Structure 1
Amino acid sequence: MPSVVIIGGGPGGYEAALVAQQLGAEVTVIDRDGIGGSAVLTDCVPSKTLIATAEVMADMEQAGRLGINFADAQGDAATTITVDLARVNERVKLLAASQSADIEGRLTRRDIRVVRGLGRLGKGGGAGGGEVIATLPDGTEQTFHADSVLIATGARPRVLPTAQPDGERILTWEQVYDLTELPEHMIVVGSGVTGAEFASAYLSLGCQVTLVSSRDRVLPGEDADAAAVLQDVLERRGMNILGNSRMESVTRNGDAVAVTLVDGRTVTGSHCILALGSIPNTEGLGLEEAGVQLVDGGFIRIDKVSRTTAPGVYAAGDCTGGFMLASVAAMAGRIAMRHFLGDAVQPLDLKQVSSNVFTSPEIATIGWSQAAVERGEIEADVIKLDLAGNPRAKMQGITDGFVKLIARPGSGVVVGGVVVGPRASELIHPISLAVTANLTVDQVANTFTVYPSLSGSTAEAARRLHRVE
């Protein structure tokens, strides 16, 4: 029976473990912080749980337009909706812990050994019968034989010497769940996905929010039309967005936090979230000694089947850079184990990865982008259809958002798409199916949709790309 040792219990690790066990391997998972990793314990699950509460608050802002009024027990009009952040964060942490326990229980029921400790490559580096060493919580070491090793150690928030988190007022995105009172003024430094999500969430929860962006707009890496819609919505709702404003330092003075910009301006608030990117957890693993090449600030170099440059050593998840998504980590881990154990495997194709920004409104994308079309990287037709004309959107009071389809000329094969609107993370799925299955715009257009529905706009956009030969 082949033996597999997985270092790291996040999505890349635990999904790989399940596949390896299913294919007949003896599997050990060495994990430091808790099964599920940061995705479950400090990042994806907690943040999206917090955002779920923020979504309800955002919906309440629109209630009056739909004819809904609030009144107290005496029948007087209620004009203020507040959030109990202590209860919200208590629920966030409870759900994260419960999800972690559920995943660990699934592993142990499948006879997958879970070891608490710090793993590193030992003699042989995992290549055809190497060793993996786990340093246990009591300081002792345990050695495991491994025919193959998967590194899935994730990443952590990047901080700067001039902006050090204190866990109380200056926070990384992993530390916000200890807040018990809603901040008076939250400053978010960084306008990428993480920064935009937290800025949008705290705005909906009732905070004054300032977003500091080093670029000229929010979400510089996303579809430009989508980012423009989001920025317009956030500013209309009262967010102060400082574009082309690079942070120099963050300091605390009592109950106040000051963010100093490189041009000398200072922004003062009660709290600050640092959303400055991620650093891979690849130190102290014995990687370079084993021949594993590190690139771009410590990320592990892998190929499309998750192999590193060292024989028998694979890697998956945020420690490899690229699309730092739980879904990508999980798929890369599964692919690694299928490849090692001889099962049929399809290399990872990042053009088939659907992703979502959980702001209000959400932004979901798949495949080739309009920017790539404009740069001449692919020849394609692009259509954008605003949701404002959709009958279901009118019923729900939705005025912002759109569906965008990108299709090859001639064949009409769908190669990309963008959805901006409520629950865009759900609405992107039919476009993802079209991209993955090489469906044409006519096939999408001729598939029945429910009337009225937001997804009807996807079919309508496809109809507008139909060409009469």
Structure 2
Amino acid sequence: MSETYDYDLFVIGAGSGGVRAARLTALGGKRVAVAEEFRVGGTCVIRGCVPKKFMVMASEVSHALEIAEGYGWSFEGASFDWPKFIQTKDVEIARLSGIYAANLGKAGVDLVHGRAVLKDAHTVEILKKDGGRDRIITAEKILIATGGRPWKPDDLPGVEHAITSEEAFHLPELPKRILIAGGGYIAVEFAGIFAGLGVETTLLYRGPNILRGFDDDVRAHLAGEIEKRGIKVILGSRHASIEQTETGLLNRLENGHDIETDVVMFATGRVPYVQGLGLETAGVALTENGAIKVDGFSRTTADNIWAIGDVTDRMNLTPVAIREAVAFHETVYRDNPQAFDYDAVATAVFSQPPVGVVGLTESEARHSCPGAVDVYLTRFRPMKYAFTGSDERVLMKLVVDAASQKVVGVHIVGPEAPEMIQLAAIAVKAGLTKAQWDATCAVHPTMAEELVTLKEKQASGHVSAG
């Protein structure tokens, strides 16, 4: 380390990506510090993936009890205690945050509590919570990993009455009625959570169908399935205003309808958390979407400053941020230039039922594959529901490049879809062909066996000339 600087590397943001980069670099013998203005663990651990998954699992119990009755079980008097759940959830989140902080300490990373603001390309100022100045720190290299924050339409009359996903984790009591605005994975997941906990739930989305960017068959199938769980889905409209009344919040919609609820939650997207970081002062440019502009190796427009994770708005997934952190460390400190490969990254939506996807949608395949595209699709009632009389259906879909016969996309909607898609992603990433999938012997009786027994081609065609 040059004697000129306090640290070799200074990381702004102690989320999953920032923590991984800091630990790897410190274990490699460099002096490293991390600044965090809230709690160690970032969005995923504190107010994202992890607590959300706990809420999903809690809300799934009601559906499991319904199924259990079909198998002869009886649960009279079963009830749900929201305050008890929130307390237990918060204890576990605190434990996980403590583990992250402890691991930083074990690796030799200095943890700085406070908001870091860039003063120039090598200097950060740490601000206290009250806005006062704490200390000035210099570093040879700086890594920005501040993630993203929920977005609300500030120009909507009455939007101050609405919450976001961050407040949803700490509601003092479970509402009787909720309206969730949005159609992405966060909106769909929280709709399932609240509906599963017995809340009268409405999902409002301005688009023609939920989960924009996902395969059209997945979108249509899931929309139908969540309605079977009691969620009211309103498409093609949005808020005109929100008004506080004596009995709740009056949601006035652009389609002329009014809906009164106890809580209104906006899940209309997230934006990179760049406000007040001093980026311009340090020579760090932003993209048109307000994200930090980086090259393939996560370097910003300032030579000694890098950025990873959601703040770069490339692929906003926790495991991707961690992989970007590893690539940063290999590139900068191990003389082994690496750029993360964003192709065939699997993802899951913990809706009810859940979704697992990897690779190309059918539409994407028809535009990117040079010739025809083969599609294999099945819908069926899972064995688990046979005793219950439920008409819930699973969807499984394989998208195949007809020329190479490689499976380029896998799409699953149904129980355990996230678990299945992780293993399917290996096959897609490896470029295995449909024949190799077919040559894999099925595990029976399982839902997953359908992935290797699909024989009837659903569709085949060439990209249209237009």
The answer to whether the superposition gives a TM-score over 0.5 is yes
Q: Where do residues 365-380 of structure 1 align in structure 2 (5 Å cutoff)?
A: 365-375=357-367, 379=371, 380=373
Equivalent residue, structure 2, for 1:68: 72
Equivalent residue, structure 1, for 2:230: 238
SS at match of 1:21: helix
Q: Is the 8 A contact 2:378 2:395 kept in 1?
A: yes
Mapped pair 1:185 → 2:177: yes
CA displacement 1:76-130 (0-9 Å, x = unmatched): xx3x64321111222222222111111111111111111001112233x1xxxx2
SS at match of 2:343: helix
2:412 corresponds to which letter in structure 1?
V
Q: Which moved more, 1:360-369 or 1:374-383?
A: 374-383
SS at match of 1:107: helix
Matched residues, percent identical? 28
Q: Is the 8 A contact 1:392 1:454 kept in 2?
A: no
Equivalent residue, structure 1, for 2:320: 328
Task: Give the CA deviation at 1:256.
Answer: 0.1
Q: Is the 8 A contact 1:84 1:181 kept in 2?
A: no
Q: Is the 8 A contact 1:116 1:137 kept in 2?
A: no
**How many angstroms apart in 2 are the aligned matches of 1:387 and 1:17?**
47
Equivalent residue, structure 1, for 2:461: none
Task: Give the CA deviation at 1:433.
Answer: 0.3
Mapped pair 1:217 → 2:209: yes
Equivalent residue, structure 1, for 2:20: 15
CA displacement 1:169-216 (0-9 Å, x = unmatched): 732111112224321111111111111110111111111111111012
Mapped pair 1:383 → 2:380: no
CA displacement 1:211-235 (0-9 Å, x = unmatched): 1110122222222111212111222
Equivalent residue, structure 2, for 1:208: 200
CA displacement 1:399-447 (0-9 Å, x = unmatched): 4122222232243222221111112111002221012222222333333
- Listed as ranges, the gaps of 5+ residues in structure 1 are 72-77
Task: Give the CA deviation at 1:262.
Answer: 2.2
1:27 corresponds to which letter in structure 2?
V
Match for 2:143 among 147, 150, 159? 150
Where do 4+ consecutive residues of structure 1 move more than 6 Å? 395-398, 462-465
Q: Is the 8 A contact 2:330 2:338 kept in 1?
A: no
Equivalent residue, structure 2, for 1:431: 424
Match for 1:282 among 271, 274, 279? 274
Q: Is the 8 A contact 1:405 1:462 kept in 2?
A: no
Q: Where do residues 291-310 of structure 1 align in structure 2 (5 Å cutoff)?
A: 291-310=283-302
2:401 corresponds to which letter in structure 1?
R
CA displacement 1:332-382 (0-9 Å, x = unmatched): 222122211134354222222111110011111111111212445664322
**How many angstroms apart in 1 are the aligned matches of 2:415 and 2:391?**
8
Mapped pair 1:108 → 2:100: no
Mapped pair 1:93 → 2:90: yes
1:47 corresponds to which letter in structure 2?
K
Distance 1:381-1:23 versus aligned 2 partners, 3 A rule: farther
1:86 corresponds to which letter in structure 2?
P
Distance 1:204-1:301 versus aligned 2 partners, 3 A rule: same
1:275 corresponds to which letter in structure 2?
A
Equivalent residue, structure 1, for 2:254: 262
Match for 1:318 among 302, 310, 321? 310
**How many angstroms apart in 1 are the aligned matches of 2:441 and 2:138?**
54
Match for 1:5 among 7, 10, 14? 10
SS at match of 2:326: helix
Equivalent residue, structure 2, for 1:252: 244
Match for 2:331 among 339, 342, 345? 339
Match for 2:400 among 394, 398, 407? 407
Q: Which moved more, 1:136-145 or 1:83-92?
A: 136-145
1:312 corresponds to which letter in structure 2?
N
**How many angstroms apart in 2 are the aligned matches of 1:408 and 1:221?**
20
**How many angstroms apart in 1 are the aligned matches of 2:203 and 2:248?**
17
Q: Is the 8 A contact 1:170 1:257 kept in 2?
A: no
Quote the RMSD (CA, aligned, Å): 2.5
**How many angstroms apart in 2 are the aligned matches of 1:140 and 1:395?**
64
Equivalent residue, structure 1, for 2:463: none
Q: Where do residues 133-172 of structure 1 align in structure 2 (5 Å cutoff)?
A: 133-137=125-129, 139-161=132-154, 162=156, 170-172=162-164
Equivalent residue, structure 1, for 2:437: 444
Mapped pair 1:47 → 2:67: no
**How many angstroms apart in 2 are the aligned matches of 1:348 and 1:220?**
24
Task: Give the CA deviation at 1:276.
Answer: 1.7
Equivalent residue, structure 2, for 1:75: none
Q: Which moved more, 1:442-451 or 1:51-60?
A: 442-451
- Listed as ranges, the gaps of 5+ residues in structure 2 are 3-7, 459-466
1:95 corresponds to which letter in structure 2?
E
**How many angstroms apart in 2 are the aligned matches of 1:329 and 1:163?**
36
Task: Give the CA deviation at 1:22.
Answer: 3.2
Task: Give the CA deviation at 1:137.
Answer: 4.3
**How many angstroms apart in 2 are the aligned matches of 1:43 and 1:255?**
31
Q: Is the 8 A contact 2:328 2:338 kept in 1?
A: no
Task: Give the CA deviation at 1:304.
Answer: 2.3
CA displacement 1:278-333 (0-9 Å, x = unmatched): 12211222212222221234211222221212212111111111322111222222
Distance 1:269-1:399 versus aligned 2 partners, 3 A rule: closer
Q: Is the 8 A contact 1:89 1:178 kept in 2?
A: yes
Q: Is the 8 A contact 2:374 2:457 kept in 1?
A: no
Match for 1:32 among 17, 30, 37? 37
**How many angstroms apart in 1 are the aligned matches of 2:217 and 2:349?**
14
**How many angstroms apart in 2 are the aligned matches of 1:201 and 1:358?**
9
Q: Which moved more, 1:430-439 or 1:135-144?
A: 135-144
**How many angstroms apart in 2 are the aligned matches of 1:327 and 1:265?**
41
